[in-house]
């Protein structure tokens, strides 16, 4: 549904996007992650045909951004990170106005507006003024607007920006519902834990370069390093730490937050023998769990950060 090949955007000597190769399949909910200025918005604007690349190619639904921008615009719904609303309009009027812009006429105009309101759970607000809506409701109204013409692909630039926790949960559930309807969704965001929960694939970009891309679990595994096991005991942990320190396959044992934190050697495949040894020595086991890396940690490990950016003359 979306494919880019060596996609590059330069502004003079500044490279905003550096040879991006990206591919999204139908039904993907793809999280595009990166710090400010990484190239996320530039990518989305090129895909939505609002910005021409310096070189390279981008395809949306099989159409090239160079040769078929009109067809792409019919196939996508683009929601920028900041968008304006008409303060003197009611919610239903706002959507019907944009439905007319999509050349949806007659009774169909009200029908698609009502359908979009129902989809984003704003039907109860259809007669309210746009200015009366909360930030979260305004974001959902913006999403309702881009859904009016039933696009196959959604390009959402920071849709959860500035939302409170409840509104973020509502937005997350809405995106999952849209994915269930078969939409292909590219969403950029800084709210990393929520992207891990809803996206089946993510890409991490910095300084215009795609650093990693793939399924969330595969990306986390690639940066995880040596496995770490946390063990909670019924009794003192120091004797247990001393016991495990000399075991084969154990690289390091620490006591942290009243638990054992056991780092296994790189070639270790399991930790059942360690548990058996603790039990044989009379230690009571309350809990054993493998420490998991989260998307925020993966992001920090994969990106270099502003201080690592090469100096330019």
pLDDT at 220 over 50: yes
- Place 310 in a pLDDT band, splitting at 50, 70 and 90: very low
pLDDT tens digits, 94-123: 999 999 999 998 889 999 999 999 999 999
Of the candidates 78, 51, 79, which has an alpha carbon nearest to the alpha carbon of residue 65? 51
pLDDT at 223 over 80: no
- Place 302 in a pLDDT band, splitting at 50, 70 and 90: confident
pLDDT at 179 over 70: yes
At 253 the pLDDT is 93
Percent of the chain scored above 70 by pLDDT?
93
pLDDT at 313 over 90: no
pLDDT tens digits, 124-149: 999 999 999 998 899 999 999 999 99
At 115 the pLDDT is 95
**Please, what's the b/e burial string for 61-92 (b: 16 or more CB within 10 A of its CB; e: otherwise)?**
bebebeebbeebbebbbbbbeeeeeeeeebbb
Q: Backbone phi, then psi, for 14, in 5-degree steps?
A: -85, 125
pLDDT at 167 over 70: yes
Task: Report how far residue 205's alpha carbon sits from residue 140's, in angstroms, rounded to the nearest whole number.
Answer: 26
Q: Report domain extents, the chain.
A: 2-222, 228-290
The CATH number assigned to the domain with range 228-290 reads: 3.30.70.100
Q: According to the CATH classification, is domain 2-222 in 3.40.47.10?
A: no
At 95 the pLDDT is 95
- Is the pTM here over 0.85, yes or no? no
In the structure encoding, which two tokens stand for residue 168, read together?
């973020």
């Amino acid at each position: 549904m979306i494919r880019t090949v060596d996609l590059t955007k330069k502004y003079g000597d500044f490279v905003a996007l550096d040879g991006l190769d990206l591919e999204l399949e139908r039904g993907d909910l793809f999280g595009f992650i990166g710090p400010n200025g990484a190239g996320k918005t530039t990518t989305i604007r090129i895909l939505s045909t609002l910005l021409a690349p310096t070189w390279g190619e981008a395809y949306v639904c099989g159409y090239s951004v160079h040769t078929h921008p009109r067809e792409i615009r019919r196939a996508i719904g683009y929601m920028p990170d900041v968008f304006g609303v008409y303060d003197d309009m009611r919610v239903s009027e706002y959507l019907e106005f944009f439905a007319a812009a999509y050349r949806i006429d007659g009774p169909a105009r009200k029908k698609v507006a009502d359908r979009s309101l129902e989809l984003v759970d704003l039907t109860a607000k259809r007669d309210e003024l746009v200015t009366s809506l909360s930030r979260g409701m305004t974001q959902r109204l913006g999403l309702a607007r881009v859904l009016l013409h039933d696009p196959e692909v959604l390009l959402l630039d920071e849709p959860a920006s500035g939302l409170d926790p409840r509104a973020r949960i509502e937005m997350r559930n809405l995106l999952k519902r849209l994915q269930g309807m078969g939409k292909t969704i590219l969403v950029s965001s800084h709210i990393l834990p929520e992207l891990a929960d809803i996206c089946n694939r993510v890409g991490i970009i910095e300084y215009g370069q795609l650093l990693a891309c793939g399924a969330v679990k595969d990306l986390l595994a690639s940066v995880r390093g040596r496995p770490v096991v946390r063990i909670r005991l019924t009794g003192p942990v120091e004797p247990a730490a001393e016991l495990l320190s000399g075991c084969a396959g154990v690289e390091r044992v620490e006591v942290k937050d009243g638990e054992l934190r056991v780092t296994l050697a790189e070639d270790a495949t399991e930790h059942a023998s360690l548990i058996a040894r603790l039990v044989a020595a009379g230690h009571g086991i309350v809990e054993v769990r493998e420490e998991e890396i989260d998307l925020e940690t993966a992001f920090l490990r994969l990106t270099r950060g502003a201080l690592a950016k090469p100096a330019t003359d």
